[in-house]
């Protein structure tokens, strides 16, 4: 099943539709409200899901085969998802390319923001949208674009602001509403400016819709929201595992530059895993898998080190969304089976696997 899921992404990259598989469940989407099933009806172990909820705490939900099958806490409460918003920003970047507002993700940001071209002796003139989405822009740091990894919330704020103001030329809430929230029929209040512009406030069950959009190859019912080739690019473009980390030495930024929330060099984790703000379950330069007990096709959006997360596991046809968890060991997870993030992944897999089935990754 894992090989089939990876093959489906490859098919998307070639522009082909993944072939239907024998005994594959019907493709299901929610309407204005989620259609619900019990865990047993979608072959999930409810005991393992109870263990997952006890481990994660906060509130969350589990979606399988397009049905909402399990939740804990208040699934309708809208709250900031912190850095888990970042893949959504890169999704809007892909949509801007699809709409012809940008030539490609490799276009220079300075083409729409000329002040960037002369900043710091012209070093920033080469920054592309891909650099922003990969945390390799070097913005506000000494390294040239593309030469070092720095998880940089000042760069991400510039990414968001420039994409909305100079490319879409719309308020971020309007862009979110028209491109994602309305097409995906979000059922709870949402905002793209709480607690500040570029920070998404949404419910766990609406965030799960965003995960399901990816799980369904960029389609929602009979509408293509994201072109398959662009979606495949977002999920298959990790930065090189051997890319060095920034030294963290400051460099000039544009006047009044704000942050999306953090600093310029937040975590060493990223090279080998990070693709257009998604975290892929791949291998880093030390040979460590991000989540040792999750299938290789897993990808996640992570905020506040694991407090706010969206998991997508294509080989299990599974989406899990949570918020306000005490978990904060995402960055410590590479190669470590004992972290709470990895233990949560293991429970997801165990919930979906028949008892005693062994799977080698």
DSSP conformational letter for 210: H
- Closest C-alpha to 124, from 134, 133, 197, 114: 114
Q: What pLDDT, in 10s, does the model give residues 130-178?
A: 999 999 999 999 999 999 999 999 999 999 999 999 999 999 999 999 9
Q: What pLDDT, in 10s, does the model give residues 43-61?
A: 999 999 999 999 999 999 9
Given this model, what pLDDT does residue 248 score?
96
- Contact yes or no for 190/200 (Cβ under 8 A): yes
* Angle, helix 153-162 to helix 86-98, in steps of 10 degrees: 30
The topology (CATH level 3) of 2-352 is Beta-lactamase (3.40.710)
Token digits for 320? 């899990």
* Angle, helix 46-56 to helix 340-352, in steps of 10 degrees: 170
**pTM score of the predicted model:** 0.93
Q: Percentage of residues in the chain with pLDDT exceeding 90?
A: 90
Q: Band of the pLDDT at 244, cuts 50, 70, 90?
A: very high
- Contact yes or no for 75/205 (Cβ under 8 A): yes
Q: Band of the pLDDT at 26, cuts 50, 70, 90?
A: confident
Q: What are the extents of the domains in the chain?
A: 2-352
Burial 251-266 (b: 16+ CB within 10 A, else e): bebbeeebbbbbebbb
């Amino acid at each position: 099943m894992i090989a089939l899921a990876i093959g489906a992404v490859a098919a998307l990259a070639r522009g082909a539709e993944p072939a239907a598989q024998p005994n594959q469940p019907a493709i299901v989407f929610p309407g204005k409200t989620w259609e619900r099933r019990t865990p047993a009806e979608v072959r999930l172990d409810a005991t393992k899901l109870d263990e997952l909820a006890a481990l994660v705490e906060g509130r969350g939900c589990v979606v399988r085969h397009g049905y909402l099958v399990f939740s804990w806490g208040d699934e309708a409460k809208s709250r900031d998802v912190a850095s888990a918003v970042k893949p959504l920003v890169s999704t809007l970047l892909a949509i801007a390319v699809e709409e012809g507002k940008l030539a490609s993700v490799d276009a220079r940001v300075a083409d729409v923001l000329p002040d960037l071209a002369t900043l710091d002796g012209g070093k920033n003139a080469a920054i592309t949208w891909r650099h922003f989405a990969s945390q390799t822009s070097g913005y506000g740091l000494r390294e040239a674009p593309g030469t070092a990894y720095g998880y940089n919330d000042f760069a991400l704020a510039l990414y968001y602001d420039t994409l909305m103001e100079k490319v879409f030329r719309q308020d971020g809430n309007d862009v979110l509403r028209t491109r994602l929230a309305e097409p995906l029929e979000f059922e709870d209040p949402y905002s793209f400016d709480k607690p500040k512009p570029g920070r998404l406030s949404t419910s766990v069950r609406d965030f799960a819709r965003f995960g399901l959009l990816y799980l369904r190859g960029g389609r929602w019912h009979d509408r293509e929201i994201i072109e398959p080739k662009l979606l495949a690019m977002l999920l298959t473009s990790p930065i090189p595992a051997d890319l060095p980390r920034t030294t963290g030495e400051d460099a000039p930024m544009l006047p009044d530059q704000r942050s999306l929330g953090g600093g310029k060099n937040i975590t060493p984790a990223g090279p080998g895993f990070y693709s257009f703000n998604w975290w892929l379950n791949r291998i880093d330069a030390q040979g460590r898998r991000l989540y040792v007990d999750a299938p290789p096709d897993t990808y996640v959006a992570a905020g506040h080190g694991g407090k706010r997360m969206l998991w997508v596991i294509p080989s299990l046809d599974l989406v899990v969304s949570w918020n306000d968890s005490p978990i904060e060991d995402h960055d410590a997870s590479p190669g470590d089976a004992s972290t709470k993030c990895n233990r949560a992944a293991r429970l997801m897999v165990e919930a979906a696997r028949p008892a005693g089935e062994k799977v080698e990754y």
